[in-house]
Chains A and B, each alone.
Chain A
């Protein structure tokens, strides 16, 4: 058992004062540290090289190296044809017949301007045409809250896109997730929404030797158990997986062993992994950054209730979510409108009736 070194992740893209490191069992000597940003960059670089039908378009992805520098260096390497700067036109969601575009949204908040195309032209087309017209497109960009960017730039769209048949929706947490899921998304024949997180871009994580390979992909639709435990199941996606692990570390000192599940994919959701876990731990807390109504946690609750795991629950499921308000600007308010580690700890104890 490797000892884990943990610090708490401070919010704010310019003030990452600590790093979070997970040590794997028998960590491979060739494992390296890589930020999520670099992992995404590597994923796109490898896929651009592998298939010349793949190309990237979005605002500032080329000469600016990407608004958040995720596409840094790609324009220099691949040129104007493969990396395209678009005007401020979210309807840069264009149907590229026979090509495999990666459409970057500067943030998913702007995707609402193009959401008609994502749903009505991308998601539904394969079905409406009964298989005649497939749409191998990737929509990616930062999703959810950042730091101090206020109400119109902080919304989480996991539930919005997760609602629609015909779309696949993934939400990576660490660098391996980011690389593996983005590569799978690019190789997928269907429209895939990749919900990244801006606060995670600069965070380094360990990349195993396997993950460094050019063919490393993570299957879409499969969750990962990041930490085993017996007392209670925590399910989260994206940034809050980290929060759950932090909470688990604190709770472990009190003898509460949390099983932490990283959803990785929002749609199709891997309910089986959650069910198996709940059948073992008998308690469930879901954690997400989005609003509570009709959200990821709500869906998990419904699915658990409909399946075999319901009979194993010793108490109702608790959802930890963003507060049901537009995101405020003032730091103290912003901090209190999103799940914090203490909220997760509180919910665990409440669920366990401790």
Chain B
């Protein structure tokens, strides 16, 4: 009987467009009604923020469709990246990770949204805040953490570290600010050369946006109509310098001048997905490059050696966390549209926690690379070089 009422109530709520989240089952009552999957809304449409446009007549749609499966998948991806980064923070403070460590928490919607809109056969290159993308491009948490701890089981056998992780169709992880952008344009050139209808997503930050080599890349990409999606992850700070103090124009989506651009809400995974889909379609249609500016935020400082509060206020960080957190936003959307249950999300969280713990176990117990690896991988397909000691 109660189930029947629940179903009718849902139906009524949907018809009236009312928030179906305020359920027939009152929060306080804790009624034991096991919800089967049949109870959940399989698909819903959400309003997303309209993108600002530069040299474009139309932009991405202002409504996004989300299926239950997709929602859970995006949630899982973002939550995994979040937990992985927080674990990296912990390990760094324990001095188990050393050197540079640039964390991505807060920006998960960018990596998850982009990956949702491109194919595994497309290409992606980014700068040093790369752990999120390394994951979305297919590397396991285990191999990422083991690379951070410098063990032989790491994705680069411990020889790359935080900023130099690679995977098929993922070109790192690049330490020199802005250098990855000409590389990305080159990958796009290869896509065009080979005629394979693939695109290259080339990411950079608001700090790198002022580098000269970007403008050289914009010129060539536009001149030759390369299928390159230039994406600026604007997290408002280039290290400790706010965008107002660094750039004469903070409209990063317009900085490509003759290249069309979109400014996108980078905290909303659906917005990022729709915009990336739009951009990919643009490139695949042979229209040339396009720029996306994702407005996003990082909770951590620039790197682990930066507390992140000398150039911004704790209040600001707290405000973003409470009002715009990408994971919370997705979760609330799904809950409010009855696409999943609180328990389900909890279960996913527990699974992820377990996965990250296991990965940590591996990353802290796996041995360091053997000394024989020292001089390996200098050259491809070469006999080993003699090194004078």
Contact = CB atoms under 8 A, between A and B. Distances in A.
Interface in B351-389: 373, 376-382, 385, 388
B385 A121 contact: no
Contacts of A91: 182, 213, 216-217
Interface string A122-153: 00011111111110100000000000000000
A89 B160 contact: no
A132 B173 CA distance: 13
Interface string B162-174: 0010110001101
Contacts of B175: 120
Interface stretch (B84-92, B111-119, B188-196): B188-196
Central interface residue in A89, A134, A190, A303, by most chain B CB within 10 Å = A89
Nearest to B164: A128
B380 A134 contact: yes
Contact of A127 (B193, B377, B381): B377
A94 B219 contact: no
Interface residues of A, number: 37
Nearest to B188: A94
B334 interface: no
A93 interface: yes
Given A95-B187, A96-B187, A121-B183, A189 B157 contact: no
B183 A94 contact: yes
B59 interface: no
A98 B190 contact: yes
Contacts of B166: 128-129, 132-133
Contacts, number: 117
Given A91-B217, A120-B176, A121-B183, A99 B193 contact: yes
A202 interface: no
Contacts of B219: 87, 89
Given A91-B217, A94-B186, A131 B380 contact: yes
A131 B190 contact: no
Given A91-B217, A130-B156, A97 B190 contact: yes
Nearest to A123: B378
A132 B123 contact: no
B145 to A, nearest CB: 16
A268 interface: yes
A116 interface: yes
B378 A127 contact: yes
A55 interface: yes
A261 B157 CA distance: 40
Contacts of B388: 303, 306
Interface in A86-108: 86-87, 89, 91-99
A117 interface: yes
Contacts of A86: 220
A121 B377 contact: no
A129 B216 contact: no
Interface of A: 55, 81, 86-87, 89, 91-99, 116-117, 120-121, 125-134, 136, 165-166, 168, 189-190, 268, 303, 306
Those 3 A-B pairs whose CB atoms lie nearest each other, nearest first: A94-B186, A130-B157, A95-B183
12 contacts: A87-B216, A94-B186, A94-B189, A94-B220, A95-B183, A98-B194, A127-B378, A128-B164, A129-B172, A132-B167, A133-B171, A190-B382
